[in-house]
């Protein structure tokens, strides 16, 4: 039976920094480059992910969903399908030598205490790594992550007022030591959206592969953030 068209209301068009692909193989094998720093494989999944979340139950923070835990949940056939779809994705990524995890996220740690720069995942940020790396993401249920084009954002540390504030906090000169201070505190990885910015949603069930900041990366990192929500989310991340 043909699958219905993708129900995601905000599926990004195939242009500029985002490229839509049509299979897992294409998603896994297409290199970042030519300004493309986000690949999306749009999907419609059949399982009942709401039921899985309901059976996981209440919690706080992040619940790691390993295979035995998921398979131990008492679910209907539709919930069983959802669990298998999640585990299948986990296997696909593991098959690439990655280390994916499935999570039910009730809340992430938040920095809401008047920090000069918020460095939690609710803030637009780039993932970073010392070596070649990439981030994979899929939201199966709940509010999805979102991203922003590089030209629509500016690093907080490049905003003069914020930089001056950080220099004061550092208590020194704008020198090598200050760069290390910014890096150690991850201040240099967080961004402010420009007024005209139009963030795009990763949508539900779509599998994304996004660029990470690392030495020698051929593209700028994909700037993204987690949604602020009080409702649980089901997520695959690697
Ligand atoms: Fe991230």
Residue 1 has pLDDT above 50, yes or no: no
Res 124: pLDDT: 96
Ligand 1 centroid distance, CA of 75 (Å)? 31
Ligand 1 centroid distance, CA of 143 (Å)? 15
Res 114: pLDDT: 63
Res 113: pLDDT: 60
Ligand 1 centroid distance, CA of 41 (Å)? 18
Res 37: pLDDT: 95
Ligand 1 centroid distance, CA of 116 (Å)? 19
0.85 surpassed by pTM: yes
Ligand 1 centroid distance, CA of 74 (Å)? 32
pLDDT tens digits, one per residue of 37-82: 999 999 999 999 999 999 998 877 889 999 999 999 999 999 999 9
Ligand 1 centroid distance, CA of 126 (Å)? 6
Ligand 1 centroid distance, CA of 4 (Å)? 30
Ligand 1 centroid distance, CA of 58 (Å)? 24
Ligand 1 centroid distance, CA of 77 (Å)? 33
Mean pLDDT for all residues in the chain: 90
- Dihedral angle at the C-alpha atoms of 13, 197, 232, 97, nearest 10 degrees? 60
Residues 6+ apart with CB under 8 A from 95: none
* Phi then psi dihedrals of residue 235, to 5 deg: -140, 140
pLDDT tens digits, one per residue of 6-42: 445 444 454 588 999 999 999 999 999 988 999 999 9
């Amino acid at each position: 039976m043909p699958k219905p068209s993708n129900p995601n209301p905000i599926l990004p068009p195939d242009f500029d920094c985002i490229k839509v692909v049509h299979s897992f193989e294409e998603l896994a094998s297409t290199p970042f480059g030519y300004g493309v720093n986000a690949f999306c494989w749009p999907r419609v999944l059949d399982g009942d992910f709401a039921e899985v979340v309901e059976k996981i139950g209440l919690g706080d923070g992040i619940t790691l969903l390993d295979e035995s835990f998921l398979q131990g949940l008492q679910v209907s056939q539709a919930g069983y399908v959802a669990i298998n779809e999640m585990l299948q994705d986990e296997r696909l990524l593991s098959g690439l030598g990655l280390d994916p995890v499935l999570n039910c996220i009730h809340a992430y740690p938040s920095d809401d205490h008047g920090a000069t720069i918020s460095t939690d995942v609710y803030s637009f940020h780039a993932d970073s790594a010392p070596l070649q790396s990439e981030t994979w993401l899929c939201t199966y249920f709940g509010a999805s992550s979102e991203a922003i084009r590089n030209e629509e954002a500016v690093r907080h540390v490049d905003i003069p007022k914020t930089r001056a504030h950080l220099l004061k906090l550092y208590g020194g000169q704008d020198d090598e030591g200050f760069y290390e201070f910014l890096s150690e505190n991850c201040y240099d990885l967080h961004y402010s959206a420009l007024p005209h910015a139009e963030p795009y949603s990763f949508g539900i069930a779509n599998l994304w592969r996004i660029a990470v900041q690392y030495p020698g990366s051929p593209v700028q990192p994909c700037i993204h953030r987690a949604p602020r929500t009080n409702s649980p989310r089901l997520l695959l991340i690697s």
